[in-house]
Amino acid sequence: MGSASRVAGIDAMAFHGTHCYLEMADLATARGVDPDKYIHGLGQRQMAVATPCEDTVTMATVAAHRALDRFDIDPGEIGTLIVGTETGVDHSKPVAVYVHDMLGLAPNCRTFETKHACYGAMAGLTSAMDWISAGRARGRKALIIASDIARYGLNTPGEPTQGAGAVAMVVSERPRLLELDPTSFGDYTRQVMDFWRPLYSKYAFADGHYSIDCYLDAFSGAWRDACENSGTWEPLRLDNIDACFYHVPFTKMARKAHHRHCETEWGISVAKENEAKMTEINASYERQVAPWLELNSIVGNIYTGSLFLCLMDYLRKAHPAGGQRLSMFSYGSGCGAAFGTGVVVANAARYADHIDPATHLAQRRRLDIDRYEQLITASETADHNEAPYPDPADWDLGQGLYYVGTRDHIRQYTGSAADTP
């Protein structure tokens, strides 16, 4: 019988985004909007844009390859692969099985895809934690990948909250980065129509302002459940947490979430007029949340990976000594949510450079608005089973792993993850 108290946590992490991005100021100007609305009102500076040759499979595979390579993990050690995505490439076949093949994972690796809007990867992470804790892993590791392309369409209210990218995480019994605390996790589910994407649509539908309310209510629900699960809310108190990470569709949302976090813990609602309490909330936000939103502000919404981009930003910049408790809140519209905490492992700071995606992000190419609009339009038909097939050369992409069209109803890929910058 396996021990029920095995430690599980995040052992490796890596990000892969897109080759192109848009400046939010350019988008605002093109839409006749004051740039301050996007940059300060929503808190976004740049937005990653996927070409028709970059899809959920290519981004997931490259991110995972990078995590395994940089943290020196043999693909044969992976016993579970879960890809969390809202942007699946097939109604039946999971993204995960393409990734399994491209990474050369073992045939006895349990492989599947999870979908619950932006909550899919957190569902994968907690499943991996349970798989290890239950003694099912037999010393193997789990690979959890969040990969998404957030698209609301041209000239929509959601347009400035798009983005694309993948975060890969390896979960193991001997984590080098963050030990997850299963007693601190809580869950929340409620049927709401705040954001959804029908089978016939490439673009999400959102009731934007309502979705913000649903998100905040889900925070309170998941946080309360976490306190009940842990039997005491003492370890979960903000005073005992070094940094708070939230799902980040746009960085201003993290400010709203943190406000709700303080209110929920204090058991009161705080109006803007309450200067003393607002000062306390703002100071806590500046210390525990704002410093770790840099990657989100230049990548945009990557749906299920957004929360984990904050964790990566923290691990690459904070240089923690170990022992710091971090909180994570994942929200998936529709809706499902989870709140939980983990504790930074001693020497995690040693891996800051392995995690840091700065070099990759610095190589991105800036799009002008015409090219951005062409690219979005071309993506609408990129997976039709007919020519014209997407061609990496049309989008000035160099070497790398790319999607190159669907022939005989089968998706085609070219290149390899190892060659992708």
Chain contacts with ligand CAA (rule: CB under 6 A): 34, 36-37, 40-42, 117-118, 157-158, 160-161, 194-195, 206, 208-209, 211-212, 215, 247, 249, 252-253, 301, 303, 331, 333
- For the CB of residue 402, give the shortest distance to ligand CAA in the complex, in Å: 26
Closest CA to 162 of 38, 4, 16, 327: 38
Secondary structure of the chain in HEC code, one letter for each residue: CCCCCCCCEEEEEEEECCCEEEEHHHHHHHHCCCHHHHHHHCCCCEEEECCCCCCHHHHHHHHHHHHHHHCCCCHHHEEEEEEECCCCCCCCCCHHHHHHHHHCCCCCCEEEEECECECHHHHHHHHHHHHHHCCCCCCCEEEEEEEEEECCCCCCCCHHHCEEEEEEEEEECCCCCEEEEEEEEEEEECCCCCEECCCCCCCCEECHHHHHHHHHHHHHHHHHHHHHHHCCCCCCCHHHCCEEEECCCCHHHHHHHHHHHHHHHHCCCCCCCCHHHHHHHHHHHHHHCHHHCHHHHHHECCHHHHHHHHHHHHHHHCCCCCCCEEEEEEEECCCEEEEEEEEECCCHHHHHHHHCCHHHHHCCEECCHHHHHHHHHHHHCCCCCCCCCCCHHHHCCCCCCEEEEEECCEEEEECCHHHCC
The catalytic residue positions are 86, 118, 247
Closer CB to ligand CAA, 309 or 397, in the complex: 309
Closer CB to ligand CAA, 136 or 197, in the complex: 197
- For the CB of residue 203, give the shortest distance to ligand CAA in the complex, in Å: 11
- For the CB of residue 12, give the shortest distance to ligand CAA in the complex, in Å: 25
Closer CB to ligand CAA, 175 or 305, in the complex: 305
- For the CB of residue 256, give the shortest distance to ligand CAA in the complex, in Å: 7
The residue number with the shortest CB distance to ligand CAA is 41
- For the CB of residue 87, give the shortest distance to ligand CAA in the complex, in Å: 12
Closer CB to ligand CAA, 81 or 222, in the complex: 222
Type of residue numbered 371:
R
Closer CB to ligand CAA, 130 or 213, in the complex: 213
- For the CB of residue 381, give the shortest distance to ligand CAA in the complex, in Å: 24
- For the CB of residue 329, give the shortest distance to ligand CAA in the complex, in Å: 11
Closer CB to ligand CAA, 186 or 332, in the complex: 332
Closer CB to ligand CAA, 255 or 277, in the complex: 255
